[in-house]
Structure 1
Amino acid sequence: MIVIVFTNSSAQYTIAEEPKPNLIFILVDDQGYYDLGCYGGKEFDTPRIDRMAQEGILFTDYYAAAPICSPSRAGILTGCYPRRVGLATWVQRADSRKGIHPDELTLAELLKSSGYATACIGKWHLGYLPPFLPRQQGFDHYFGLLHNLDPVEVVYFENEGGVPLMRNEEVFKQPADPAALTEVYTDEAISFIRENRDRPFFLYLPHTMAHNPLGVTDDFRGKSRFGLYGDVIQCLDHHVGRLFDTLQELSIDDRTLVVYASDNGRGPGRTADQPIRGNKLTTLEGGIRVPCIAWGPGLGIKAGQTSSQLIHAMDWYPTFATFAGVKVPEGRVIDGRDITPLLEGRCETVPSATAELSLNASVPLRRPWNPPGEWEQIVSREEYHQAFFYHGSLGSLAAVRWENWKLQLNPNFQLFDLEEDPGETKPVRNPELIRKLRGMAILFQEEMRTGTRPAGESPLSK
């Protein structure tokens, strides 16, 4: 922004940069599609997140990168399908030798290079060994659990006093208390916000809840109409509200973008008007379609909007970069699309990469495109970029979605119209569409065959 100051004798020109916005990504664990009031949940009260939706944009067709923890997180932080970065399979427990490869450019590293203070507060689950820890992946500050607290992970720490709650490389508390985590994470997040109120910051807040074992403080126990899980959701809502209160108190709410999403689904709908089926780990809609809300009225994000556009977790990488005024470096191939124009209400759909309506709009064009003759006339580059490729918890391609059409690939091709049948109960006979989406799947498999990068492994191979 150029500010022109006039004096009696001449015009003086002062260059003043617009302050970079603050960026907050709240990631909830294992929250189902219908498990907020604004998504139709009737068993619990979520007034603060509902208000966030009223003042922002709610996505009805938003997809996690995977139906399981670690790959889902890899998708957010790299902007890539987990398979592209070698992290599509299962989870990274305490005996894992894998993590995000040091050659990957995480969202935190990209923003840090542009002057952002960066923090990861919460569950990491992307590698336990030193090269893969949060502070080696672009985060200035870390507070949280590197693991889950379920029995298959707690066993690794039985002789060490339990799973530790970490602050950077030091043990803050051991063992961690699941009932206290949502509150202490939020306390730490608020401290980080206060400490960095005068500079741009990126806060990645991946909550441990609502992953089993569930836990809440006594003031939330028994308050919902859906048992302990409902209590957890209401507890999360309260502490999300504390973050918004802090932003307002510090008068930085008008220059902050907040995204709320779940890392994967939990289970099917519970009433007749909640048709989605499927559980976590599956690629039915209930396993991977999740709540997502974006809020930032001071940054031009349209208030009170509901979007049925197909959006996925990888899209936040180039979008956050655009809000920060940072170009994704040339040569960096990712799978996310810059959805800034959609958030700002400049268009109602995700714009074409060729339209160049935002700073990182053209990033998808870095993905290779040379379809063989069989598919050249059936699938366009634009259609391919706007598709979503579902991967199961074991990393294999399971389905393709384009527009409202979903093609399940196994055990046989089944086509569903998700607009009319989100429960995937009525297969549609349409050979042309089946062929089109099958072609997308084949092209994607070839792209992954030639474009997959290795995960980091320790010791790292040279």
Structure 2
Amino acid sequence: MDRRQILAGLASGASLSLLPSIASASNRPGRKPNFIVIYCDDLGYGDVGAFGGRTIKTPHLDRLARQGMKLTDYYAPANLCTPSRAGFMTGRYPIRTGLARGVIMADEARGLPLSEVTIAEALKPEYATALIGKWHLGHKGPSWPPTKHGFDLFYGIPYSHDMLPLSLYEGRGEDVHEVPFEYPQLQQMFWNRAETFLEDNASRPFFLDLALSAPHLPNYPIPSLAGTSAAGSYGDVVEEIDQIVGRLIDKLDRLGIAEDTMLIFTSDNGPWFEGSAGGLRDRKGGGAYDGGYRVPCIVRQPGTVPSGVSTNAITMGIDFLPTFCAMAGKQLPRDTILDGKDISAVLTRAAPSPHQELVLFDNEEVVGIRTQRWKYVIADYYRTFKFSVEDRGYPQLYDMTDPDMSESYSVASLHKDALAMMKARLETARTTFEPLKSSPGSDIFLRPGERPPSHKPAIWQD
């Protein structure tokens, strides 16, 4: 069946019968699927050609999209990196892990509790597991190193590459030691180590989190690409990422494991001071608008994931743990509340989302709700303060079927029933998550009639 037949089926509503099911996936009988997640840092929705980007050249990512599925309405678990990575690793909204507030700085001792079950732990013992790249879930005390969280191998950095002091570590178990590195070569070093891991584990199931630390600022292009992109050094680095994706695709093909491997490309949050949100409103660390959360996501597995297909089913990074467990035939973590859903039917049959809603947090505060059709926003930043649009009588309801993705015009006055429904959903979420705050009431809102506090909260964080 060619791409036009699949797309015609999607348009006619007959997609479920046309697309392959997970039961008929063409990986080798008896072999559990491999999982690779390329988790970029601060890559925007509009930085990839397949998602509308025009300035930066991304031919390999565009090829990946042609060979797989685009998730156009995929959300990172948070608008900042530490909580986003906590949500991805555990399948839980980051407020449940204690890591929803800000990012872990170099002098902090916070970290992912050992009681949390990561994707790597959930897939053990059958899977070889590696975290190559950026960790940023705790670099002191019991949370360090990542090999305490189910990873056989760690080769990477403890936090963002703009934080000091920065070291590159390698090791297994608790035997993790520093290795020398140069900033312009860092992404290449991550790829080279990932390539060795693939070669070493091609004959058995594996999970690889290739957590590139780019294109987070500052940018360090490799010499061969420096100055080649119309988007400056940021574009140079994104094009380097694109080349790494191309090498990875080719490597899987050469090893003969492409059909056994689910390859996912995405980002931890939207763009920071540079990069394109692709027409989405706001950026990394902002309020509840999509530019901080909605990021590129492409999934490829020949014979299992249909090629050349897009889905607008709402999904989030918290969905990967339950999905991988389902596809690997593994039990979900016991005695653990998971917020993520098994989206294997979305990925293999373009089925509707299993989510009734996605909850959007800014730090520990519920600031938005997204359903398949509607988005309700209650907070934004204004003059460095978190601004409650809800308290000022400016209800922000958006119809997400509108081709205009900019969330520029609220339709609250046109859809009273939808507004009431979304308000009720948000209040329910608040009731659920308010007791989980590390310091209740500490998120600062500038409300009507209130004077600004004497100190200003840190809005833009690494």
SS at match of 1:212: coil
Q: How does 1:283-432 map to 2 (within 5 A)?
A: 283-298=288-303, 300-345=304-349, 347-351=350-354, 385-392=355-362, 394-410=363-379, 411=388, 412=390, 413-420=395-402, 421-428=404-411, 429=413, 430-432=415-417
Residue number in structure 2 paired with 1:13: none
2:177 aligned with 1:170 = yes
Take 1:323 and 1:427, find their aligned partners in 2: how far apart are those partners? 40
Partner in structure 1 of residue 59 of structure 2: 47
Q: What secondary structure sits across from 2:335 in the alignment? A: coil
Aligned counterpart in structure 1 of residue 137 of structure 2, from 97, 114, 126: 126
Correspondence for 1:262: 267
Alignment equivalent of 1:240, drawn from 227, 238, 245: 245
Q: What is the number of equivalent residue pairs in this alignment? A: 390
Helix, strand or coil at the partner of 2:216? coil
* Cα pair distance change 1:106/1:453, threshold 3 Å: farther
Deviation at 1:437, TM superposition (A): 1.1
Q: How far off its partner does 1:270 sit?
A: 9.2
Q: Secondary structure at the match of 1:297?
A: coil
Match of residue 85, structure 1, among 75, 90, 97 = 97
Residue of structure 2 equivalent to 1:58: 70
Q: How far did 1:451 drift?
A: 6.4
- 2:95 partner amino acid: R
Q: 1:225 aligns with which of 224, 230, 246?
A: 230
The equivalent of 1:10 in structure 2 is none
Distance 2:201 2:438 in 1: 35
When the two structures are superposed, what TM-score results if normalisation uses the length of structure 2?
A: 0.81
Following superposition, the deviation at residue 130 of structure 1 comes to 3.9
1:358 is matched with: none
- The letter of the residue matching 1:388 is L
Supply the AA of the counterpart residue of 1:309. Answer: A
Change in Cα spacing, 1:333 to 1:452, as seen in structure 2 (3 Å) is: farther
**Which residue is equivalent to 1:211?**
216
CA, structure 1 residues 255+17, in 2 after alignment: closer, same or farther (shift >3 Å)?
A: closer
CA distance in 1, matches of 2:323, 2:130: 19
Secondary structure class of the residue paired with 1:290: coil
For residues 360-410 of structure 1, give each alpha carbon's deviation from its aligned partner in whole angstroms, at most 9, with x where no partner exists. Answer: xxxxxxxxxxxxxxxxxxxxxxxxx42111111x33111111122111113
SS of alignment partner, residue 36 of structure 2: strand
Q: Deviations over 1:50-109 (max 9, x none)?
A: 111101100111100111110000010000110121110111122222111111111110
CA distance in 1, matches of 2:237, 2:228: 10
Q: 1:138 aligns with which of 145, 150, 160?
A: 150
Give the 3 Å change call, closer, same or farther, for CA 317–37 of structure 1 in structure 2. Answer: same
Paired residue for 1:94? 106
Are residue 148 (structure 1) and residue 181 (structure 2) matched? Answer: no
* Structure 1 residue 177 displacement after superposition: 2.7
1:274 to 1:87, Cα distance in 2 relative to 1, 3 A: closer
User: What SS does structure 2 have at the residue aligned with 1:398?
Assistant: strand
Q: Is the 8 A contact 2:45 2:278 kept in 1?
A: no
Deviation at residue 17 of structure 1 after TM alignment: 6.3
Q: SS state of the match for residue 219, structure 1?
A: coil
Specify the SS of the correspondent of 1:264: coil
Q: Secondary structure at the match of 1:397?
A: strand
Q: Which amino acid in the other structure matches residue 405 of structure 1?
A: W
2 CA distance for matches of 1:181 and 1:251?
Answer: 28
In 1, distance between residues paired with 2:210 and 2:264? 10
TM-score, structure 1 normalization: 0.81
Q: 1:270 to 1:232 in 2, by over 3 A?
A: closer
| Deviations, residues 215-263 of structure 1 (Å, cap 9, x unaligned) | 1111111222211111111100001111111111111111000000011
Between the aligned partners of 1:180 and 1:268, the Cα distance in structure 2 is 23
Distance 1:116 1:274, change over 3 A: closer
Cα distance in structure 1, aligned partners of 2:282 and 2:199? 41
Sort the Cα spacing of 1:239 and 1:302 in 2 relative to 1 into closer, same or farther, 3 A: same
Amino acid at match of 1:397: V
Distance 1:211 1:17 in 2: 41
Gaps of 5+ in 2: 1-27, 380-387, 440-462
Query: What one-letter code is carried by the residue in structure 2 that aligns with 1:415?
Result: L
Change (3 A) 1:47 1:117: same
Where does structure 1 lack aligned partners over 5 or more consecutive residues?
Answer: 1-15, 158-162, 352-384, 455-462
Asked if residue 275 in structure 1 is aligned to residue 279 in structure 2, the reply is: yes
Displacement of 1:447 in angstroms is 2.0
Distance of 2:123 and 2:107 partners within structure 1: 30
Residues in 1 aligned to 2:315 and 2:273: alpha-carbon distance in whole angstroms: 20
Superposed counterparts of 1:6-17, under 5 Å: none
Residues 340-376 of structure 1: CA deviation (Å, up to 9, x unaligned): 111111x53124xxxxxxxxxxxxxxxxxxxxxxxxx
User: Which residue number corresponds to residue 6 of structure 2?
Assistant: none
CA apart distance, 1:431? 2.3
Cα 1:149–1:239 change in 2 (3 A) is same
- Cα pair 1:259 1:294 within 8 Å, conserved: yes
Contact conserved, 1:124 with 1:145, CA < 8 A, in 2?
Answer: yes
In structure 2, the CA distance between the partners of 1:53 and 1:201, relative to structure 1 (3 Å rule), is same
Quote the Cα distance in structure 2 between the aligned partners of 1:178 and 1:269: 19
Q: Secondary structure at the match of 2:96?
A: coil
Q: Using the TM superposition, give the Cα deviation of residue 441 of structure 1 relative to its aligned residue in structure 2, in angstroms.
A: 1.3
Kindly provide the CA deviation profile for residues 178-212 of structure 1, in whole angstroms up to 9, marking residues without a partner as x. 21111110000000011111111100011000011
The percentage of counterpart residues that share the same residue type is: 35
1:269 and 1:172 mapped to 2: Cα distance? 30
